Chains A and B, each alone.
Chain A
């Protein structure tokens, strides 16, 4: 009997082994290595200079560019995530009907999401291009002064946010559409017989039915937008004057331009911490929701 149990345990282990080995090899080991690296004085040029304790973290605290990057990233997340939720919800509710027009619009809104970041930024560079770009032409046409958003310190981050919004709005919209279609039609019929106005139906029937999806979209977008990099790199390059440099770009530059691997690893841990706090916050919120 005991031998039988032992054999089946080994057989069971074999089934989970592919997942476990990938998980260990591609997630657990690199993550621990990253954490370990963040406590080392490790430079690709001068090599390994021993244990550094919290020195890397201490230098991050005083690094003006890193503090700017943290500010930019937090600002970016704070601006984009609520917009994704709000706009995604608005689009989904507006396009949640059987009309052909809505089906076409749904496809159009989702279509940009499948583009790669390089293609997408190419399109937007044509929009933001000074003098001959779409934005400049439109402003000229209506007689307004031209604004070069990408080169303007206070508008650079906003210009990236607009690009990002255009790029990925299809995902929250689709998630909200899926959730909307799960709301039983009878609820709306009951609300109609209960003399509920459109606004009260939205407030008391639709939105409460979507709370789980709202939290899901917020969680997904928070985690995604904390890692913003590609658009910035290709549109503003982090400038002007670091005004749009996010944490991931800072990590990239510290690690692969300046070759300070320990320092870059420490910055990665800080980013990881931010994302962990955000994710746990969402989890806590959804638990509260379930209890209520």
Chain B
């Protein structure tokens, strides 16, 4: 297959298994985002593709060419680092030219490529400055420019936005999305920020403890999380998890009875469900106030466009739900809450998810 392919890749440092038997195919032109908490192995996976980290076993192929034993510079990849990694004593122009000069590209061609990248990134006026004379955002653009001029078969981004302030991060995010649309290049992006993953990715690879939890489009990952980990990691606020006391079957669909007495009729087929204990997952936007179980409001977070309300149920669990606009409720008020059964998920005790239609 064209694109970047990981085949049964493992990595261990001494006794510690960082990545175990991982296989993944990233299609040509795809924007894949590795998403996971720190220490989940996502950066290691990226660095293995780049050749900065060796494989303990397995293979990596790029556009049908096996690359895992090649030196980093011959893999046809370009990488943008978290701390930019610009050469401090070279100007922006020299930074961008360095890789091409190393590969023996003739000078006029180098100039043309830099001019092209500079136009794309609007960095022409920065080319003769050194990294020390540039702001964080400008350095990031030069670092991206340095990757672009190489016209690589795939781009690797290692948390490139995490050193930028919030405004700049959002702007650079949009720019990266635009860049991907213009260049139609294969891009692999590592982040722990689910917002970046949701907005940039054509496909998200959610990782945890060296394993892939789920691979899917952002909407798939959000709407139909494969595991409890994915459900909890993706989405702000995090999904609510409520213990299920028992399950009844109504016309083949499960109705969950929660510990505090709430009845949630779902569209999940009962036949799929295992025997063990279950947990019900519901997102804040799928909790409906005004009916159902009583709960006491503890904390309100006013976000402007909506208010997040943390309410304690009778059995002691906290349920977070959202109200549009600025809520007039106060801490201490009592509300009645009901989970929207058509949008809930059930998880067994191994974390596997079950969805309705």
Contacts and interface: CB of A to CB of B under 8 A. Distances in A.
Interface string B83-123: 10111111000000011001100000000000000000000
Nearest to B156: A193
A192 B73 contact: yes
Contacts of A186: 81-83, 85
Nearest to A201: B102
Nearest to A183: B88
Contact of B85 (A189, A196, A208): A189
Interface in A196-215: 196-197, 200, 204-205, 208-209
B79 interface: yes
B88 to A, nearest CB: 8
B51 to A, nearest CB: 7
A197 B88 CA distance: 19
Contacts of A204: 87, 90, 98
Interface in A167-220: 184, 186-187, 189-197, 200, 204-205, 208-209
Contacts of A197: 102
Contacts of B51: 192-193
B77 interface: yes
Contacts, number: 64
A195 B83 contact: no
A193 B82 CA distance: 15
Residue picked from A184, A194, A208, most chain B C-beta under 10 Å: A194
A184 B73 CA distance: 19
B99 A187 contact: no
A214 to B, nearest CB: 13
Q: Is the interface of A mostly helix, strand, loop or mixed?
A: helix
B50 interface: yes
B276 interface: no
Contacts of B98: 191, 194, 196, 204
A137 B3 CA distance: 67
Interface in B35-54: 50-52
A290 B90 CA distance: 13
Contact of A189 (B71, B77, B81, B150): B81
Nearest to A189: B52
B74 interface: yes
Nearest to B74: A195
Give the bracket for the number of chain B residues in contact with chain A: 20 to 34
Residue picked from A189, A193, A208, most chain B C-beta under 10 Å: A193
B343 interface: no
Given A189-B52, A200-B102, A204-B98, A195 B73 contact: yes
Residue picked from B50, B82, B88, most chain A C-beta under 10 Å: B88
B73 A196 contact: yes
A54 to B, nearest CB: 47
Interface string A114-148: 00000000000000000000000000000000000
A144 to B, nearest CB: 45
B87 A205 contact: yes
Contacts of B71: 192, 195
Contact of A194 (B52, B73, B89): B73
Contacts of A194: 73, 98-99, 102, 146, 150
A189 B158 CA distance: 12
Nearest to A192: B72
Contacts of B89: 208-209
B102 A193 contact: no
A193 to B, nearest CB: 5
Interface of A: 184, 186-187, 189-197, 200, 204-205, 208-209
23 contacts: A186-B82, A187-B87, A187-B88, A189-B52, A189-B79, A189-B81, A190-B79, A192-B51, A192-B72, A193-B51, A193-B77, A193-B79, A193-B99, A194-B73, A194-B102, A194-B150, A195-B73, A196-B73, A196-B99, A196-B102, A197-B102, A200-B102, A209-B88
Q: Closest 4 A-B residue pairs measured CB to CB?
A: A195-B73, A194-B99, A186-B85, A208-B89
Interface of B: 50-52, 71-74, 77-79, 81-83, 85-90, 98-99, 102-103, 146, 150
